[in-house]
Amino acid sequence: MAQTSVAQPVDHETADAVGSGHTGWVRTTHWVVAASVTTLAVSGFVILMAHPRLYWGKAGNDLTPALIELPVSRNYRHGGWETQTVFYSRSGSALSAVRTYDIFNQNGWARSLHFLSAWFLVITGLAYVVAGFASGHFRRDLAPRAAELRPRLLWEDLGKHLRMQIRTSGGPPYGLLQKLSYCSVVFVALPLMVWTGLAQSPTIAAAYPILPDLFGGTQSARTVHFLVFAGLVLFLLVHVWMVVMSGFGRQMRAMTLGSSHAKN
Amino acid sequence: MRRTNPVVLSRRKVLGGLASAGGMLLAGCSKDLPPTYGNVLRMGDVLTYRAQRVLLPVHRSVREYSHRDITSIPAIGTTDPADPHQETYNAEQGAIYERLRSGGFADWRLSIEGRVARPASYSLGDLQRFPARTQITKHTCEEGWSAIAEWTGVPLRNVLQAVGALPEARFVNFYAYDNNPDSIDMLDALHPQTILAYGMNGRALPVGHGAPLRVRVETQLGYKSVKFLRRIVIANEFDDMGKLGLIQNGWSWYAGI
């Protein structure tokens, strides 16, 4: 299986038409990360279903106001309360109450699966980032050139995508929107997910309070965790759509076997 | 508020024991670690537990808040051990609890036994004679919500010191009137903010929150803070608590998260 070595400079003219394929470590880490993120998304959603309310700040629960309420399980805005205990005599006092209903809760397996997949994501992600810098892949293929970062070029690339005039090669060199979206996922979204995930751990937050504090509290971190999840799902949908529209078989070959249609 | 009393159990001994258990991680069978029963999810739980114990600094305090931060707090899980409709209701324990509650818990005793030099049985009054610790902390429920409340009680480490927990002790097992036993390791047991709480928000601990005594394990998810305590056993080996325990019910024993 011939493929262009990452160590060699790519001839952009021919590569743009042909596609250089993806190197072995990119293909391996891509699929481990893809499997981890998919498992994290599913298990995370199941965890969300147990308490589909999001808050801003340090703490929040069914007895305090929500920022967002998501209609995603039978736990959405239902049930009632009994045996209320009011703690203080002042008005608006903190109180406690007992639920009158059984909630949906599959967090036992969902959270353990979430964490198991997170281990795969973090370890593979670290390996990918180290290899990406060491091999020059990030600098050469992912980082947008200074000359590319012009609103006009961005607008043009966006227009091409909307008219479905997209490149059909598998692998780098990437277009401007491709570079920007991949960089956003690798350097912004996934690190934010790990950060806001760790921020929700009582033990880790005790050791490193900056984790939740950066977002204004654990519940804020949980909300950011959800919003970035939503962004990643959007990326995944567009990403798969682009793969389909630009030649599903060729793209899949490039990301599994390693080179695109043209074998040198 | 960190206390300087020497604890009978040496922390070095505990840490040494935990470190030596590290080699057994992949085997997944050790009396120092929760069993996995070949379940890959439980293996992940043990990996997270081991990683946190190896990588994180020891006994960092969780944040303590001020009175104005106190929020409302749902009471979930068992909210009355004497109520036959509750999920883990046990007729015998429920009847005892009913009797103790009707007597204002005057006859309630907490027995502490196992790997201790001086097994003891404490009344509420006995526990209240220990120096008290009051902390306003965040309760993090595994469901996803959280609440801030004030808890008053005696640091578990002071009680372990009083009964003379032996150096080989590794785990503190909690048994409760609602049939939800659980355990924590000695590292969390000796955490200065791990307390046996008899007070909440300035009043006696309400029944819905575990009257007359619950443990507060501030470094883990809420479900580790066992309510309705009746007995504490200090152990040198891990006990999964059988069908009543977390592991056989599909939950992670370690919930430092």
Of residues B15 and B235, which shows the higher confidence score? B235
Residues in chain A closer than 8 A to B184 (CB atoms): none
The two tokens of residue A240 are 């798969």
Question: Cα distance from A68 to chain B (closest Cα, Å)?
Answer: 13
E strand or H helix at B125, and its extent? helix B124-128
Residues in chain B closer than 8 A to A60 (CB atoms): 71, 145-146
Residues in chain A closer than 8 A to B47 (CB atoms): 116, 119
Give dist(CA B247, CA A79) in Å, integer: 29
The single-letter code of the amino acid at A170 is: G
Give dist(CA B18, CA B185) in Å, integer: 10
Q: Taking 50 as the threshold, does the pLDDT of residue B1 lie above it?
A: no
Q: Taking 50 as the threshold, does the pLDDT of residue B184 lie above it?
A: yes
Reduce the secondary structure of chain A to three states and give it as a string: CCCCCCCCCCCHHHHHHHCCCCCHHHHHHHHHHHHHHHHHHHHHHHHHHHCCEECCCCCCCCCCCCCEECCCCCCCCCCCEEEEEECCCCCCCCEEEEECCCCCCCHHHHHHHHHHHHHHHHHHHHHHHHHHHHHCHHHHHHCCCHHHCCHHHHHHHHHHHHCCCCCCCCCCCCCHHHHHHHHHHHHHHHHHHHHHHHCCCHHHHHHCCHHHHCCCCHHHHHHHHHHHHHHHHHHHHHHHHHHHHCCHHHHHHHHHCCCCCCCC
Question: Cα distance from B207 to chain A (closest Cα, Å)?
Answer: 10
- Whose structure tokens read 């249609």? A261
The two tokens of residue B221 are 């998810």
Residues in chain B closer than 8 A to A83 (CB atoms): 75, 79, 208
Give dist(CA A162, CA A182) in Å, integer: 18
pLDDT at A259: 64
| Share of residues in chain B with pLDDT > 70 (%) | 88
CA distances from B107 to B98, B122, B156, B256 (A): 12, 10, 21, 34
Question: Cα distance from A236 to chain B (closest Cα, Å)?
Answer: 25
The two tokens of residue A156 are 């043009």
- Contact in structure between A252 and A243 (CB atoms under 8 Å): yes
B21 touches chain A (CB under 8 A): no
Q: ipTM beyond 0.95?
A: no
B58 touches chain A (CB under 8 A): no
pLDDT at B32: 87
B65 with A119: Cβ contact below 8 A: no
**Strands B110-114 vs B229-235: parallel, antiparallel or unpaired:** parallel
- Whose structure tokens read 């690190």? A191
Best CA proximity match to B35, nearest among B24, B149, A196, A189:
B24
N residues, chain B:
257
The single-letter code of the amino acid at A29 is: T
- Contact in structure between B160 and B224 (CB atoms under 8 Å): no
pLDDT, tens digit only, all 264 positions of chain A: 344 444 444 444 444 444 568 999 999 999 999 999 999 999 999 999 999 999 999 999 999 999 999 999 999 987 789 878 899 998 889 999 999 988 999 999 999 999 999 999 999 999 999 999 999 999 999 999 999 999 999 999 999 998 888 876 788 889 999 999 999 999 999 999 999 999 999 999 999 999 999 999 999 999 999 999 999 999 999 999 999 998 899 899 999 988 644 443
A111 with B142: Cβ contact below 8 A: yes
Give dist(CA A11, CA A15) in Å, integer: 6
For residue B195, the number of C-alpha atoms closer than 13 Å in the C-beta half-sphere is 27
The single-letter code of the amino acid at A197 is: G
A8-60 pLDDT, tens per residue? 444 444 444 445 689 999 999 999 999 999 999 999 999 999 999 999 999 99
Tell me the whole-structure pTM to 2 decimals: 0.89
Give dist(CA B201, CA B42) in Å, integer: 36
